[in-house]
Every structure is written in C-alpha cells, then in structure tokens.
Amino acid sequence: MAQDAGILSAAYRRYQADRDARRERLERRTAEVYRRLPRLERIEGELRSTAARLVLAAFESEGDPEQTLRELERSNLELQAERAELLVGAGYPYDYLDDGPVCPTCQDTGYLRDGSPCQCLLAYCAREQNRRLSKLLDLGSQSFDTFSFDWYSSVPWEGYGISPLENMEAIREICGNYAHTFGPRSGNLLFTGAPGLGKTFLSACIAREVSDHGFSVVYDTASHVFQQFEREKFGRESAYEEDPDREINRCLGCDLLIMDDLGTELLTAFVQSAFYRIVNERLLARRKTVLSTNLPLEELGRRYGEAVLSRLSGEYQLLRFFGDDIRLLKRDL
C-alpha cells in the first residue's frame, strides 16, 4: 500500500498528540491518587526497585539464590495485591495507574522494527485521509448502506433494454464488490452518464470503503487536477494554494485515484497531454483509477485522442448510468 507522505505526517502528529495526552492524563491521575493514598506511592517505589533487587539477589546471595528470588517474587505479588486493594477500596479501577502501551506491537512508537507503519498508525492515516476526503465528499452520509434505489424507474429505458433500476442494482453491486475487495488485482472503472444519476455518490462510497481498508485514496475534480499540472509546468505558484509537485505526486502515486467531472474542464493540448500522462503512468504502475464523466466513451475519444480511448476501452470497466435526474426529482417534491 502506498502511503501519502503528507497524510502520514499529519496522522503521526495526531498520533503523537494523543500519546502525549494519555501520558499527561496518567500523570494527573497518579498525582491525584498519591495525594489521597500516600501508601500507594511508596508501594510504587518498591515495585520499581524490584528489578534491581532481583539482580543484586542473584549475585550477592550466599545461600540458595533461587530461594531469595522466590521471596522477592512473593513480596512483589503481595505489593501488587495491596496496590489493587488500595485502589479499589478508594473507588478506582485496579488498573487505574497502569502505564503499559496501548499498542503492544509497536510499543506506541507507531512504527515496526522494519521501519514500516504499524497498524495503529495506519488507522490514524485512514482517519486523516477520510477527514480530507470529507472536505469534498459527504462521507458522513454517503455509503453503500445508505444508497437508495427509490429514485430509479423500473420502466425499461428506451435504447437500453433494461430499466434504470435494474441497471443501478447491477452497478451498485459492481461498485460494492470493487470497494470491498480492492487490492493489487483490482481493475479500473469508468462512470459515464448524465448528471444527477449517482456517479459522485458511488464515487464517495468507494473512496470511503477503500480508505477504511488502509489504502491511499485521492479524490478530486478533473479540472483541479489539471490545474495542478499546469502550475507545475508553467510555474504558477501561490502561497495560498497547494504545492503542485506534491499534489501531482499524490495523484500519480496513490493506490486509488478518483477523478470526477472529467470533460468539464477547458480543453487544451496541455490538458490532453496531462490526462494521457495520468492514465498511462497509472496503468504502467498498476495503480487503480475511477473516472467519472458526463460524456459518452466516443466523445472522450474525440476529446482526448485515440491513445487515451484505446486505454480506456481496454483497461477500464465501463459503467453506463441512465435515468431521470435525481436532483430534479428531489427538487420537484
């Protein structure tokens, strides 16, 4: 899985902040308990010195060192029992002052011995990624579970041979399977159809599901993606906007790129070149892409060229959306 450097960095800052907050809470709890139970502080001190006492006993005992070790162990257990009794008797949980790591795998460092992120840190990455996706997509309400077929007609649509409802049931199943089983062997999807038929909604469902499984996901409109390529090419920089190099690397290097509203941007030779680069480089790197457009496949070929059309036709699963505009149906209620 590819990890976006910016998301990983932000996730690690949140990870550290939560870890530090836990330590501060433990310090406050400890100070509070010691004020109420002075004996407990002395017990903690004796327990901390057990390791040193065990080492000394092993070297200094003139008799049977194992006997001395057993006595120290018994003393240690008695202290732990007294500690628990004091805490519970004062109304605290028996483990109120335990300071063990939340994640035993990485000991709360966030990273494994081989330098790769631990699953606990990857969970923070998924939340950070969803937080950023939520700025563009309504991830709070858009999910496969909330997808509704109520707005799709059951009457066969002229020229298609099936109804919009039957078509969307099939598309919903394809998208759900795609998101649930996303991985290196997944393919690419191309959504085509008029506005207001659920393309963006299903894009959000896929983005949410794939992100929750720990994969890096970038969702953006085609026009904004092409703007980043133009800024990189022509040096149009602004202190108030994203770093174009970083944004382009995110688009090209993420596990799943979802580009919405393809075909609404101003068409130029540079846009044609940039789109070919995105499609071609991601295919060569075996990274997955979901494209969404209001244009039919043939129009995409005329707009972006035969080389792009060949790759879309051969490497993308085409999903055609048709039916009545749901936004208009909701407006007319």
DSSP state letters, 35-79: HH-HHHHHHHHHHHTHHHHHHHHHHH-SS-HHHHHHHHHHHHHHH
Question: Mean pLDDT: which of 51-55, 92-96, 173-177 is highest?
Answer: 173-177
Amino acid, single-letter form, for residue 213: H
Domains and CATH numbers, the chain: 5-89 (no CATH), 134-331 (3.40.50.300)
Q: What pLDDT, in 10s, does the model give residues 226-268?
A: 988 888 666 554 443 455 677 788 889 889 999 999 999 999 9
139 pLDDT more than 90: no
Higher pLDDT, 206 or 80: 206
Q: Distances in Å between the alpha carbon of 194 and those of 54, 148, 168, 246?
A: 76, 18, 14, 32
